[in-house]
Structure 1
Amino acid sequence: MKKILTLLFTALFIFALAACGTAEEDTQKDTDTNAGEAQDNEAAEENTEATTIVVGSTAVPHSEVLEKAKPILAEQGIELQIEVYQDYILPNQDLNEDRLDANYFQHTPYLNQQVADFGYDFVSLGGVHIEPIGIYSKNITSVDEIPDGTAVLLSNSEPDHGRILALFEREGLITIADGVEPTEALLDDIVENPKNLEFDPSYDPGFLPEYYNREEDTLVAINTNYAIEAGLLPTEDALILEGPESPYANLLVTKTGNENNEALLALLEVLRSEEIQTFMEEEYSGAIVPVNE
């Protein structure tokens, strides 16, 4: 009888050990499974972050063009977040401070000036479109009718001065000093000014359309983005308009070291696609000119 009881207790003890072992294995499997799921979720979050890009732009036409590109990028698994700015200063500051992955609003001379002034370590991924700058006037309807001593209102953005002066030289209104590239000229480089035009470069570019409406007998140099916002059609309303040969393409810009970001390169490709270029041409009636380099 004692032998039978001993065998019975031994069997029960072995069974209990086996059960404990199985429970421990199941617990470990559950732990491993939960850890694996956590890693998968973390990887998924990282992938989501990797395919989300934040791009800063001015309102018109840049943010509108980006909005058009947004669903096309979504089809590629890239979420585009657009931050809209009303000035030319903050988009570069925010890019430098990593609040943006890229920005889309500036041309090469402005970018170069910003790099020189603030030490930004930026790189252009490429041009997207040209916004021909124009000279506007409420009352002056032809170049031949410009009176002597007419005031010319310019933006306080010095990189734009050369392209504006190049337009005035093209029309025979001024002469730039020999050896100075017209698009790089400054006001001090004017050597002939037969109509004694009074150039005043003290205006915030965003407010120039207001001065166009207020100062009716002046000439006002307005960037196309601000002209469009103000309801002006550059191809019809500008007295003098920059041509499509302009070297001032608006760029997609990012920080150096980020130029191989696949999502940003995909954005550039979409912005240069036939669909987006057709949109720009039709939406803005030729006021902006798509580029591919």
Structure 2
Amino acid sequence: MPGFNAPRRRLLAAAGAGLAVAAFGRAARADTTTLRIGVTAGPHAQILEAVRNVAARRGLALKIVEFSDYITPNVALDAGDLQANSYQHRPFLDQQIKDRGYRIEAVGETVTFPLGIYSRRWKRWQDVPTGARVAIQNDPTNGGRSLLLLQEAGVIRLREGVGLLPTLRDVADNPHKLRFVEIEAAQAPRVLDDVDAAAVNTNFALPAGLNPGRDALLLENPKGPYVNLIAVRGVDRDKPWVRTLVESYRSDEVKAFILAKFDGAVLASW
């Protein structure tokens, strides 16, 4: 019955073509890995947008999840609600693991939001006089970070073995007889008119019109202990997508984006 068989053959051919297209679509989707990565709002999220474009070309689809605090991204990662996060530096992650027992590991370095020493009175650190008043933060993490920066610059010497949380009691040598004033970190830009110099975190420097790359007399090394990290669960650290994610982040394209977007306020670690 030719009148019946011909349409049937056409129907079967169309069905076969449809199955082939569906199979191809499934195969294409199978070649793309999708993962949820947590970041804090602001520069971290902006950088991840650039990373997402690079990763997509390498078969990795990133769903960026923004958080407004520093605690929840690790909670979500440890619980498996995220596959990775990118927002914290090593000292913070180590303390979180110690305090909360997270099974999280760092797998790659990203960027630094450098702490700097600023002044409205002096253009170069060499011009800061003996006996100058220098404001540093009164909390252990940031105050210690400022002292480490001053030691790195050869301004002071700390006693051996102080780790990442030195205090003024740990200053073993102060040859320039600097007079330290401890203040709340958020107040640092506001006291610049009252002291010779002040240590200012980048998140407080930028709103005050200070650019670390342009205005800081002293600036942290981007490869120091406060470089930010990509973190994943320990059980995932050897999965192929981890390497793709890290390499996508640490790409020339993303580095160029950071330089153009932040003009030295955020420093790539590679």
Question: Please, which of 254, 262, 265 is the counterpart of residue 276 of structure 1?
Answer: 254
Report what 2:16 is aligned to: none
Report what 2:34 is aligned to: 52
1:180 maps onto 2:161 in alignment: yes
Report what 1:103 is aligned to: 85
How far apart, in 2, do the equivalents of 1:182 and 1:67 lie?
Answer: 35
Alpha-carbon contact 1:57-1:82 (below 8 Å) kept: yes
1:164 maps onto 2:149 in alignment: no
1:191 maps onto 2:191 in alignment: no
Structure 1 residue 123, shift from structure 2 partner: 0.4
Report what 1:83 is aligned to: 65
Which amino acid in 1 is paired with 2:43?
P
How far apart, in 1, do the equivalents of 2:67 and 2:50 lie?
Answer: 18
Please give the per-residue CA displacement for 1:171-217, whole angstroms capped at 9, x wherever unaligned: 5553312x2367553443123452331234x54xxxx3x64146632
Report what 2:12 is aligned to: none
Which secondary structure state, in structure 2, belongs to the residue aligned with residue 112 of structure 1? helix
Alpha-carbon contact 1:140-1:217 (below 8 Å) kept: no
Which secondary structure state, in structure 1, belongs to the residue aligned with residue 110 of structure 2? strand
The alignment yields a C-alpha RMSD, in angstroms, of 3.6
Which secondary structure state, in structure 1, belongs to the residue aligned with residue 38 of structure 2? strand
Alpha-carbon contact 2:114-2:201 (below 8 Å) kept: yes
Structure 1 residue 67, shift from structure 2 partner: 0.4
Question: Please, which of 101, 107, 126 is the counterpart of residue 119 of structure 1?
Answer: 101
Larger Rg: 1
How far apart, in 2, do the equivalents of 1:147 and 1:190 lie?
Answer: 16
- The normalised TM-score by structure 2 is 0.73
Report what 2:135 is aligned to: 152
Structure 1 residue 120, shift from structure 2 partner: 1.5
How far apart, in 2, do the equivalents of 1:220 and 1:118 lie?
Answer: 33
In structure 2, relative to structure 1, the CA distance for the partners of 1:154 and 1:176 (3 Å cut) is same
Structure 1 residue 63, shift from structure 2 partner: 1.3
In structure 2, relative to structure 1, the CA distance for the partners of 1:254 and 1:245 (3 Å cut) is closer
In structure 2, relative to structure 1, the CA distance for the partners of 1:182 and 1:96 (3 Å cut) is closer
Structure 1 residue 85, shift from structure 2 partner: 3.2
Q: Gapped runs of 5+ residues in structure 2?
A: 1-18
Which amino acid in 2 is paired with 1:121?
R
How far apart, in 2, do the equivalents of 1:84 and 1:51 lie?
Answer: 20
Which secondary structure state, in structure 2, belongs to the residue aligned with residue 257 of structure 1? helix
Which amino acid in 2 is paired with 1:271?
Y
Alpha-carbon contact 2:188-2:200 (below 8 Å) kept: no
Question: Please, which of 110, 113, 119 is the counterpart of residue 128 of structure 1?
Answer: 110
Structure 1 residue 220, shift from structure 2 partner: 4.1
Aligned length: 245
Please give the per-residue CA displacement for 1:58-87, whole angstroms capped at 9, x wherever unaligned: 334321111012123233443212223344
In structure 2, relative to structure 1, the CA distance for the partners of 1:254 and 1:223 (3 Å cut) is farther
How far apart, in 2, do the equivalents of 1:254 and 1:161 lie?
Answer: 29
- The normalised TM-score by structure 1 is 0.68
Which secondary structure state, in structure 2, belongs to the residue aligned with residue 269 of structure 1? helix
Between the aligned residues of both structures, percent identity stands at 31
Question: Please, which of 189, 194, 200 is the counterpart of residue 212 of structure 1?
Answer: 189
